[in-house]
């Protein structure tokens, strides 16, 4: 797998060097204690930042994805949903063809220990995209970053997009 810190630095550097494309917001400083205790002794990583997405066309859904300090998506929550859903990374690809690197990371959506669907997250310059493929019928939903909601004081937000 690509080292996520190196990946982030490449994206930041490319934002300046690759046709002066903006690099996007910085990642906020993570909390000192990155894990919280859950019931039955399990630990859950505390998100370092969140990206808010909006659906396009007929898709009016809002999506909030929580990321760890190293840029791994750890959970997803839809607008109006009470609980977040766990994500597990299964693949990552990087393409350096073109003006700036494009990073595509695939995650499994886990519900009660079972794969419920697939998320493909794409980062290109200062744009982020999410595609969800629902497991039961393979219906696809597309989302694009909502810059206004996601970025606060030139960094990604540190609180969930939706309560």
pLDDT at 76 over 70: yes
CA of residue 148 relative to chain centroid, distance: 16
Does the residue 34 lie in any domain?
A: no
Does the residue 38 lie in any domain?
A: no
Does the residue 115 lie in any domain?
A: yes
83 by Cβ neighbours in 10 Å (0-12 / 13-18 / 19+) ranks as exposed
CA distances from 109 to 74, 84, 93 (A): 10, 10, 19
Parent domain of 115:
4-28+43-156
User: 123 versus 15: which is more confidently predicted?
Assistant: 123
Label residue 98 by pLDDT band (50, 70, 90): confident
HSE-up of residue 113 (Cα within 13 Å, Cβ side): 0
Label residue 56 by pLDDT band (50, 70, 90): confident
pLDDT at 37: 53
- Give the span between the Cα atoms of 50 and 66, in whole angstroms: 4
Q: Give pTM, 2 decimals.
A: 0.76
Does the residue 161 lie in any domain?
A: no
Tokens of 4: 């996520």
Count of structural domains, the chain = 1
pLDDT at 12: 38
Q: Is 60 left (phi over 0), alpha (psi -120 to 50) or beta?
A: alpha
Does the residue 36 lie in any domain?
A: no
pLDDT over 90, % of the chain? 64
Does the residue 105 lie in any domain?
A: yes
pLDDT at 8: 41
Does the residue 61 lie in any domain?
A: yes
What is the average pLDDT across 132-148?
96
pLDDT at 40: 57
1 by Cβ neighbours in 10 Å (0-12 / 13-18 / 19+) ranks as exposed
Phi, psi of 99 (to 5 degrees): -70, -30
Query: What are the pLDDT digits (tens) for 27-45?
Result: 555 455 454 554 555 566 8
Tell me the CATH number at 13.
Answer: 2.40.160
Mean pLDDT of the chain: 82
CA of residue 32 relative to chain centroid, distance: 21
* Other Cβ atoms within 10 Å of 19 Cβ, number: 11
């Amino acid at each position: 797998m690509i080292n996520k810190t190196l990946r982030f630095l490449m994206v930041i550097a490319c934002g300046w060097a690759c046709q002066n494309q903006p690099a996007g917001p910085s990642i906020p400083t993570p909390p000192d204690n990155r894990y919280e205790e859950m019931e039955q002794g399990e630990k859950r990583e505390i998100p370092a930042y969140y990206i808010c997405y909006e659906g396009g066309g007929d898709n009016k859904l809002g999506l909030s994805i929580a990321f760890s300090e190293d840029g791994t998506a750890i959970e997803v929550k839809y607008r109006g949903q009470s609980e977040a859903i766990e994500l597990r990374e299964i693949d990552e690809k990087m393409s350096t063809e073109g003006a700036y690197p494009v990073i595509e990371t695939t995650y499994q959506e886990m519900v009660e220990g079972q794969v419920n669907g697939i998320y493909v997250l794409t980062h290109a310059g200062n744009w982020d995209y999410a595609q969800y493929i629902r497991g039961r019928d393979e219906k696809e939903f597309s989302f694009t970053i909502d810059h206004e909601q996601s970025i606060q004081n030139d960094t990604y937000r540190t609180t969930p997009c939706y309560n």
